[in-house]
Every structure is written in C-alpha cells, then in structure tokens.
C-alpha cells in the first residue's frame, strides 16, 4: 500500500521534523497547514479518559475553523491531568506564535505512551524548520512521522471526476494496536481540494468512518487519543452540494476503507486479515454483537494464528454473544465459501482438510447467517500472535 501513488491536495501543505519527543533521530512532529478558507470536520474517541489534545482540539474546533493541525508521536499526553492540558496549550501556542495566528486556529493531536508528561518545550524549537519545510508533497513523510508501533506508513489517495472536474482525496493514518476505535482510528487525516460546506463535510465524515474505521478491531481496546479529521481546502474547481454529495462520499469512504484495512493488516504481530460477516440478524446491534464477539475471542484469534480450523471456537463465540431467544438450528457458518456449520452443528459435507486450506490463507472470511432477520454487518480483524504479546510487553522498554 505504501507504494501506491499519493496525489498532492491543492491548498494543503505538510512538514515533518525530529523534535526528540521520545526517540532520537526520527521524525516525530508534523504540521498540516490548510488554506485560509478551508473547512474542517472531525470525530474523536469515546474513551472517558480522552487525552489532553483531544479536549483542546474539540474546544478549538468549536470556536473557529482551524488553520493548522499539530501532530506528535511518542507521547500520548493522556492521563496527565491539568499539566497535560497546559502542555497541549503550550504546543499550540508555539505554532500559533511562529505562524502568526490565534491559538484557537491550531488543533493538537498526540499518540504514544499514556501517562507521561509531554515535553512541550521541544515543540517550539522545531517550529521554524517545520514552517520553512511546508509543501504539498509532504504526505508520505508525515505518514512515517506519526507512526508508533506501526511497521509501515499508511496512505491512500484518489483522483476522481465529479461534475466534469477533478477532485483529489488523500489521507494518512496510524494505528496497529489499541484498535477498536468506536469512531475513527487512533489518528487519521484526510484532505480534499473540493469546496464542501461545513455541515455537509461533517456528515460525510461520519458516514465514511462508520463502515471503515468504526468497523475494525485488532484487540478490542479503544484508545484515549482516537481522532479522524477531514479537511476541504476549496482550492480545486469542484463545489460539493446535495446533488453531487453521493459521489464525494463514495470517494472519501473508499479512502477511509483502504486506510482502515491497512491498520488491521498491520495489527501488532498480525499474520492474517480476517473479514467477519454476520447476516440475517434481527437488528444491526445484534449483528455487531456477534461479529465483535467472534473478533475479540482470544481462542478464535489464536486459532487463526495457528491456521487451525477449530470451528468449534467460532460456534462457541456466536453462542455467547448474548442473543435472546436464539434458535441455534437456524445458524449457518462458512469459512470463505466452505460450509462448516448447518442446523447448529457440523455441516455433513465438511472435511478438515478443506478447512485447513482456507485457514492457511493470509486473508479469509468468516461468514455467519443467524436466520433471524434482515440486518447485517461486516468488520475487519486479525489474528493474535506471539509478537502481539512481545510488542506490547516491551512497548515502554
């Protein structure tokens, strides 16, 4: 994915620098500058212990349209109380002073270790180089700078025709662990050169994150720092309105889906990308409950890592998903197109060697038909490997 073309977005400039926030000699600070008349939409974590930059970003966005995004890796500035809020304000002020704008025009974002003080003084020293380095080609370097335990930078970019004009949508994100966002991923930034009214931009973002960032899970943990931002610079030739908004939503959703898929594929230590489809549920929530129960089962996830077609673990997960008045004889389960469960038990035609062939794949689908209604959902997850434990056990060392 990191080799795919990345299209610059008119009206959006980026720069990255090494500020020494946690690790020496690597980029860990990013500034994204948007054109003066840009609109901006965002969604944030639902974690009650949301990080200081999340609190401040919400406040600033409610006050005025931003001109700059300030993003650091290496330190989450979460669980840091009033001192963390003050540090976040200081980092915003350092950029605002250097750029000659009001502090409210800066939105801060952080990712990294929770519970450690943010060294705000290191931001100010990096500001001159960051502002001097701003350019439209900075997407790939920025994607690398916001990484923590990610193994690859994550970018997605599209150019499409809408109403006879070219629209560019480009995005970056980071995330590979502590992923069950409930709104977006840990950090994602998507921009377009189209002109989009504020309300329509927010509605587009909320509709785009639901089947993408809100439908993935690596480990079931919702971060304190999740945020997803959609910027419309208005520097292109196309104006988005109600008549062409469906086409715009389609391309934004496509970019978000590609980024979300990349997060799961890069799940800490992951070796398999798994799509879980639950259909014929009585309600959407019921479908989601079943899908996430399968996805979060340590026994299912470790069987996936071992390429073990132990379908009983999937069956057991479905059974404990909390469905009322469940008729198990109506349940059907497949691995890809291979039927493994019918009428609540092992399919008479199922053979272990066929199941083994599917489980040996690096990408596969678990499909469950509940036989209860018309609702369905799809989520993406991954396996649970030795490396996941090792990465997270050694995260602070």
Q: Report CA 181 to chain centroid distance, whole Å.
A: 7
Q: How confident is the model at residue 185 (pLDDT cuts 50, 70, 90)?
A: low
**Model pLDDT, residue 268:** 81
The Cα 291–Cα 376 span in angstroms is 10
Mean pLDDT along residues 57-81:
97
Contacts (Cβ under 8 Å, ≥6 apart) of 279: 287, 367, 368, 369, 370, 375, 376
Which pairing describes strands 227-232 and 187-192: parallel, antiparallel, or unpaired? parallel
- In DSSP terms, 108 is beta-bridged to 70
Lowest mean per-residue pLDDT among 89-98, 185-194, 231-240: 185-194
CA 200 to chain centre: 21
Per DSSP, helices labelled H in 183-337 are 198-209, 245-265, 284-296, 298-305, 311-319
Q: Give mean pLDDT, residues 134-158.
A: 95
Q: Report d(CA 397, CA 114) in Å as an integer.
A: 14
State the average pLDDT for the chain: 94
Write down the pLDDT at residue 387: 84
Which pLDDT score, from 0 to 100, does residue 369 have?
98
Q: Give the separation between CA 236 and CA 164, rounded to whole angstroms.
A: 12
CATH architecture for residues 12-265: 4-Layer Sandwich (3.60)
pLDDT computed for residue 303 by the predictor: 96
Q: What is the pLDDT of residues 150-177, one digit of tens each?
A: 889 999 999 999 999 999 999 999 988 7
| pLDDT of 313 above 90 | yes
In the chain, DSSP finds a helix count (H) and a strand count (E) of: 11, 15
The band of 195, judged by pLDDT with boundaries at 50, 70 and 90, is very high
Q: In CATH terms, are 12-265 and 273-393 the same topology?
A: no
CA 335 – CA 340 distance, rounded (Å): 7
273-393 is a CATH 3.30.450.20 domain: no
- Give CA separation, 309 vs 90, 273, 336, 361, in Å: 53, 15, 12, 11
Pairing of strands 39-44, 227-232: antiparallel
- Listed by start position, the domains of the chain span 12-265, 273-393
- pLDDT score at 4: 72
Strands (E), 130-272: 154-162, 165-174, 187-192, 227-232
Tokens of 330: 């109506």
Contacts of 173 (CB under 8 A, 6+ apart): 143, 154, 185, 186, 187, 188, 189, 228, 259, 260, 262, 263
**Full-model pTM:** 0.92
Give residue 27's region: left, alpha or beta (phi > 0; psi -120 to 50): beta
Tell me the catalytic residues. 185
Residue 2 clears pLDDT 70, i.e. is over it = no
Q: What is the pLDDT of residues 34-59, one digit of tens each?
A: 999 999 999 999 888 899 999 999 99
| In the predicted structure, residue 395 carries a pLDDT above the cut 90 | no
Half-sphere exposure of residue 172: CA atoms within 13 angstroms, side-chain side = 25
Of the candidate ranges 3-7, 20-24, 59-63, 323-327, the one whose mean pLDDT is the lowest: 3-7
Q: Which residues contact 144 (CB under 8 A, 6 or more apart)?
A: 16, 27, 153
């Amino acid at each position: 994915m990191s080799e795919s073309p990345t299209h610059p977005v008119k009206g959006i400039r980026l720069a990255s620098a090494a500020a020494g926030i946690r690790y020496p000699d690597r980029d860990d600070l990013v500034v994204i500058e948007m054109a003066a008349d840009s609109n901006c939409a965002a969604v944030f974590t639902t974690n009650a212990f949301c990080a200081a930059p999340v609190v401040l970003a919400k406040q600033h966005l409610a006050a005025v349209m931003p001109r700059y995004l300030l993003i650091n890796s290496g330190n989450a500035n979460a669980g840091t109380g009033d001192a963390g809020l003050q540090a976040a304000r200081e980092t915003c002020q350092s950029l605002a002073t250097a750029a000659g704008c009001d502090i409210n025009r800066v939105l801060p974002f952080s990712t990294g270790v929770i519970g450690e003080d943010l060294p705000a003084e290191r931001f100010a020293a990096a500001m001159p180089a960051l502002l001097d380095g701003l350019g439209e080609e900075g997407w790939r370097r920025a994607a690398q700078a916001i990484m923590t335990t990610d193994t690859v930078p994550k970018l997605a970019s599209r150019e499409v025709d809408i109403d006879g004009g070219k629209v560019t949508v480009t995005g970056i994100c980071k995330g590979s662990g502590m992923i069950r966002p409930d709104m977006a991923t840990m950090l994602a930034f998507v921009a377009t050169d189209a002109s989009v009214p504020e309300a329509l931009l927010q509605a587009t973002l909320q509709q785009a994150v639901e089947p993408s960032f809100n439908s993935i899970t690596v480990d079931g943990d919702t971060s304190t720092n999740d945020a997803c931002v959609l910027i419309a610079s208005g520097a292109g030739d196309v104006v988005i309105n109600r008549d062409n908004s469906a086409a715009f939503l389609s391309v934004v959703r496509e970019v978000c889906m590609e980024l979300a898929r990349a997060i799961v594929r890069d799940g800490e230590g992951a070796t398999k990308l798994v799509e879980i489809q639950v259909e014929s549920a009585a309600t959407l929530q019921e479908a989601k409950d079943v899908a996430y129960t399968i996805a979060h089962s340590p026994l299912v996830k470790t069987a996936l890592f071992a390429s073990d077609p132990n379908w009983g673990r999937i069956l057991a997960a479905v059974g404990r998903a909390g469905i009322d008045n469940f008729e198990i004889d109506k349940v059907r389960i497949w691995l890809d197109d291979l039927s493994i469960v019918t009428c609540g038990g092992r399919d008479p035609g199922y053979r272990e060697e066929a199941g083994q062939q599917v489980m040996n794949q690096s990408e596969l689908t678990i499909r469950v038909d509940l036989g209860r209604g018309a609702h369905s959902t799809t989520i993406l997850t991954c396996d649970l490997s030795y490396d996941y434990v090792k990465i997270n056990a050694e995260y602070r060392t």
